Amino acid sequence: MSSVCLRHKDRETDIRCAACLRPICEECIVMGPGNSRFCSTECSENAQKSSERFADMTRRDEEALHAARRAAFARLVIVVLFLFVLGVGLHVAWPSLPQALTGPVESWFDQIRNLKLD
């Protein structure tokens, strides 16, 4: 579907500005980065600024994602260390704990050891 050029009303064209989508003829094309075709330097500059803002937003999103992953990993390490220390502490203290605490746990482990899996 052909349109007429924005500046030259007597010329039909299928080319459109990459930023504002207005129809432009070959003579009116302003080349931008990546061989993009624009109707004016203003549209070219606006597209470049928009591209830079998008790249900046993407970079900030990636940095935030990396920071969140580092924080989650740090929390995981802390939990694992806590559980390790708790396990070592229980292992060392187990013989000196009262029978009222250790008896039910040992009884439960004995029941599990005696289970027969068919």
33-49: pLDDT as tens digits:
888 999 999 999 999 99
Percent of the chain with pLDDT over 90: 81
pLDDT recorded at residue 71: 98
- Measured between alpha carbons, how far apart are the two ends of the chain, in Å? 76
Sorted by where each begins, the domain ranges of the chain are 3-93
Q: How many Cα atoms occupy the beta-carbon half-sphere of 55 within 13 Å? A: 6
pLDDT recorded at residue 6: 87
Instruction: Check whether 70 has a pLDDT greater than 90.
Output: yes
Q: How many Cα atoms occupy the beta-carbon half-sphere of 14 within 13 Å? A: 1
Task: Report yes or no: 24 and 18 within 8 Å, Cβ to Cβ.
Answer: no
pLDDT recorded at residue 57: 97
What does the pLDDT average to over 72-86?
98
With left for phi above 0 and alpha for psi between -120 and 50, is residue 79 left, alpha or beta? Answer: alpha
H runs (alpha helix) in the chain: 41-93, 99-113
Q: Among residues 31, 29, 33, 39, which one has the least CA distance to residue 55? A: 33
Q: What's the pLDDT tens digit per position in 92-108?
A: 999 999 999 899 999 99
